[in-house]
Amino acid sequence: MAKPSHREKILTEGLKVVHERGFAGASVRDIVQAAGVPQGSFTNHFVSKEAFGLEIIDLYFQGTRQMVSQTLLDDRLGPIARVLAYIDFHKGALQCAVNKGCLFGNFTAESTEHSEPIRARLVEIYAWLSDIICNCLDEAITTGELPEGYNSRQVALFIVGSLQGAVLLAKAQRNTAALDSFSAVLTSSVLR
């Protein structure tokens, strides 16, 4: 098996550092130190810290796509059950690392005013998630799980935004109460 390149080490270890400390709180020195590579390796592989940030967003997005495949795109489940599985996945992930939150939400809160490329990439990712959730809700209308005239696009945006907010609150409060509350309201009121 080939040894991971300095670039791969910087990305994988740098993702962990940024997820733990925030993008602004993670210096290039912290990132290369965690990767165990010389400081010059960073500038050999990334034209800027912003370019690095975009790449770790995409690296994190690979995991998100896998999770979406196991939840929102799992056609063994009904459409509402898929949406709830997606929420439950977040609750389970936060049980392990409530202090880290979601990398997308962290970047949204911290970097969208300072970096147009990062802001635009996050908007694309949120739109992708909203579209998939909207498709689940549209399917739920077709199968009769949700009523005709249900505004699936509006609810999908509500779910994405509320989930990100609940995850940020969970990170601040160091518990999943906000996410549990969001999930309960979603189940009892919104997805009926």
The CATH H-level superfamily of 59-190 is Tetracycline Repressor, domain 2 (1.10.357.10)
Instruction: Report pTM.
Output: 0.90
3-state SS class at 93: helix
Per-residue pLDDT band for 95 (boundaries 50, 70, 90) equals low
* Better pLDDT: 18 or 2: 18
* Per-chain mean pLDDT for the chain: 91
DSSP class per residue in 129-190 = HHHHHHHHHHHHHHTTSS-TT--HHHHHHHHHHHHHHHHHHHHHHTSSHHHHHHHHHIIIII
Q: What is the pLDDT of residues 96-138, one digit of tens each?
A: 666 788 889 888 988 878 889 999 999 999 999 999 999 999 9
- For the chain, the structural domain boundaries read 1-46, 59-190
Q: How far is the C-alpha of 154 from the C-alpha of 183, rounded, in Å?
A: 17
Domain 1-46 matches domain 59-190 at the CATH topology level? no
> For a pLDDT cut of 70, what percent of the chain falls above it?
95
User: Candidates 3.30.360.10, 1.10.10.60, 2.60.120.260, 2.40.50.100; correct CATH number of 1-46?
Assistant: 1.10.10.60
**pLDDT at residue 102, as a whole number:** 85
SS3 11: helix
